[in-house]
Amino acid sequence: MIVYVRGNIMKEQEQIYACWLMNCPSLSDRQKMKLYQTCESLEELYFSSTKLWRTVLSEKGTQALSKYTECWKPEEEYAGMVNRGIALVTAFDKNYPNKLADIPDPPFGLFTKGKWRAKESPTVAIIGARDCSPYGEHIAREVAGGLAKAGITVVSGMARGIDGIAQRAALDVYGFSVGVLGSGVDVCYPVQNRDLYDQLTDKGMLISSFPLGYPAKPLNFPIRNRIVSGLADAVIVIEARKKSGTLITVDMALEQGREVYVVPGRITDELSKGCNALLCQGANVFTSTEEFIKEITGERHTLDTSSFTVMTGSATEESDVAHKLLELLNYEPKSIYEIMNEWDKKISLSQLSSNLMMLCATGKIRQISPGQFCLL
């Protein structure tokens, strides 16, 4: 295990050469740290001989670093990075996130876009299925929004589905969210989440341990997920199949000593099998946003009536949309798209989903499978 000793804020001259080392695509975090430890500074490492590099790297690795360095223009590359609104922080800099610094073998450094939150707050990772159900979408939105209103930072991987929904919900209520990318911080992935990428740049924070311009690859995501859980005080899982990448993140969170909470689901739903398996293994049951906030902050927050409680629905006045849904539904299941086609006025998918989930929570209707609803 590598332990990083953090000092003062890194001076710009050192940042120039940190930019050089962090952008080298052939080096692992362990190799970067070992190279750094051979010299007094990153600038000295840059100007040192390949003989010194060979004390850490293989001949092939040394040649790769040498070839990369020959093409690298430190001041020019660093200025270009800064001009694009990108900053960096290394693991020996005091601005490096405290929670991430405490995990085994933390990333050597992070590229960032946006601004760090002025005051450190509890941080919660919300993760789950990419192809989530309307039920999962509703819960992700309500839980993330409730946490953000309470001043809790929401972190996730900016992926399709639960990740992106939760982060949008946090920003929608003027909360703070951190998106961890499986690509360079200047590469938006997935491209469908460009609006979220821009919002996080403007109102939150984007971070990545990968070189600038580095494309998203399958092997990148476990590395990204390890940072997601490493930044968090606790992890909430909302919908996961039995064999899911979400469960890999859970394993990493447990290795890092993070508490894992799981939203339970129907035993017949494929998207709930991973969640229910985690509960059988002893994960915490997520039953209430209010209670969860109290557990991780020691404070009680009263959320507004739109906030979702998994086990106990609050008494709320049904909207016109909800009344209309009760008229359209019967005891034969209908998909959300069939309901939209029967609607006589314009309605958004998100508004329809929200009202369907409210009716499920209050026991008026039921979801028999993802996207299929009927009267009880």
Tokens of 221: 């995501």
DSSP letter, residue 362: T
**Contacting residues for 232 by C-beta, under 8 A, at least 6 apart:** 99, 123, 124, 125, 155, 253, 258
Average model confidence (pLDDT) across the chain: 88
* pLDDT higher than threshold 70 for residue 46: yes
CB 112, CB 146: distance < 8 Å: no
Selection from 269, 349, 350, 363 nearest residue 313 by Cα = 363
**Is this model's pTM higher than 0.75 or not?**
yes
Q: Could you tell me the strand order of the sheet in which 372-375 lies? A: 334-335, 372-375, 365-369
What is the pLDDT at residue 300?
A: 67
pLDDT in tens, 98-141: 999 999 889 999 999 998 887 778 999 999 999 998 888 889 99
Share of the chain above pLDDT 90, in %: 64
* pLDDT higher than threshold 60 for residue 177: yes
pLDDT in tens, 361-376: 777 888 877 778 888 7
pLDDT in tens, 300-355: 665 553 444 443 333 343 468 888 888 888 878 888 888 888 887 777 777 888 78
Rounded mean pLDDT, 29-46: 94
Which stretches within the chain are classed as H helix? Answer: 12-22, 29-37, 42-47, 50-53, 59-71, 74-83, 98-101, 134-149, 162-172, 194-203, 220-231, 245-255, 270-280, 289-297, 320-328, 336-342, 349-361
Q: Please state which of the ranges 48-52, 213-217, 229-233, 342-346 shows the lowest mean pLDDT.
A: 342-346
What is the pLDDT at residue 363?
A: 75
Tokens of 219: 């092997």
Phi, psi (degrees; rounded to nearest 5) at 152 = -90, 135
What is the pLDDT at residue 309?
A: 41
pLDDT in tens, 220-271: 999 999 999 999 999 999 999 988 889 999 999 999 999 999 999 888 889 9
pLDDT higher at 22 or 243: 22
